[in-house]
């Protein structure tokens, strides 16, 4: 099976020294890529800026920085994928204006105007053809199941893996996670807590079984 996975954060530059990003380290996405390779799949990994060594055996590694670069890379690779897993934490907003010079401190505050980035999950859901499988992630702080199921439907996912962030042992930066998988048919699989590497193996088996 040809598997496409994205991982890590994006960076949206304000000026030459500052940018907007998030706490994603790419550990879950890289674990998924490694698990997919180990399972014998042909894996393309689209990675944001992370401090991780890419898994051995990848078919292709595409490095990006911005949300726009991530969107372009995913749209280019998506048509050839049998299974796509959206694990990256892509910025929802970017600065509307980039300053080519470092912005200097001033008395008082500073207003930073932001604009939306492309919703990659929504775009790929609209591009999905019969036979293609699409899985996503939902990192939530509240109403995890409600928000995950809403995203599952809106993005036309086949599955969504949901976890609560902001609690010990789950979410960004941790080697462990606590995951529930919601499927488009209404079913749910509670994977519980475990190392991200272990959870990745189980997730790949679940997602790949859809074809």
Could you tell me the CATH number of the domain that includes residue 167?
A: 3.40.50.10300
In a domain, 169, yes or no: yes
How many structural domains are present in the chain? 1
Q: Which member of 22, 147, 163, 177 is catalytic? A: 22
pLDDT of residue 171: 63
- Cβ atoms of residues 59 and 77 within 8 Å: no
Q: Domain range spanning residue 68?
A: 2-99+114-208
Residue 168 pLDDT > 80, yes or no?
no
In a domain, 109, yes or no: no
In a domain, 31, yes or no: yes
> Tokens for 201?
């193996």
25: phi then psi, degrees, rounded to nearest 5 = -105, -10
- What CA–CA distances, in Å, run from 41 to 36, 49, 210? 6, 24, 14
In a domain, 127, yes or no: yes
In a domain, 105, yes or no: no
Task: For residue 22, indicate whether it is catalytic.
Answer: yes
Q: Which of 17-31, 49-63, 114-128, 166-180 has the lowest mean pLDDT?
A: 166-180
The most distant pair of C-alpha atoms in the chain lies apart, rounded to whole Å, by 59
Residue 211 pLDDT > 60, yes or no?
no
pTM surpassing 0.85? Answer: yes
In a domain, 80, yes or no: yes
């Amino acid at each position: 099976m040809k598997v496409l996975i994205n991982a890590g954060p994006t960076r949206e530059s304000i000026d030459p020294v500052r940018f907007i990003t998030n706490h994603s380290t790419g550990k879950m996405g890289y674990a998924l890529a490694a698990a997919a390779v180990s399972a014998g799949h042909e894996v393309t990994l689209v990675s944001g800026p992370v401090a991780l060594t890419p898994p051995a055996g990848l078919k292709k590694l595409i490095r990006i920085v911005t949300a726009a670069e991530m969107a372009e890379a995913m749209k280019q690779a998506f048509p050839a994928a049998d299974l796509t897993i959206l694990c990256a934490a892509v910025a929802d907003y970017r600065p509307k204006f980039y300053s080519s010079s470092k912005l200097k401190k001033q008395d008082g505050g500073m207003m930073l105007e932001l604009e939306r980035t492309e919703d990659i999950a929504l775009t790929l859901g609209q591009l999905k053809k019969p036979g293609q499988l699409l899985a996503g992630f939902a990192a939530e702080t509240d109403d995890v199941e409600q928000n995950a199921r809403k995203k599952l439907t809106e993005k036309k996912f086949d599955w969504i893996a949901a976890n609560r962030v902001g609690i010990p042992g789950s979410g960004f930066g941790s080697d462990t996670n606590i995951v529930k998988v919601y499927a488009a048919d209404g079913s749910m699989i509670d994977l519980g807590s475990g190392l991200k590497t272990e959870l990745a193996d189980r997730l790949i088996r679940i997602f790949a079984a859809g074809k």
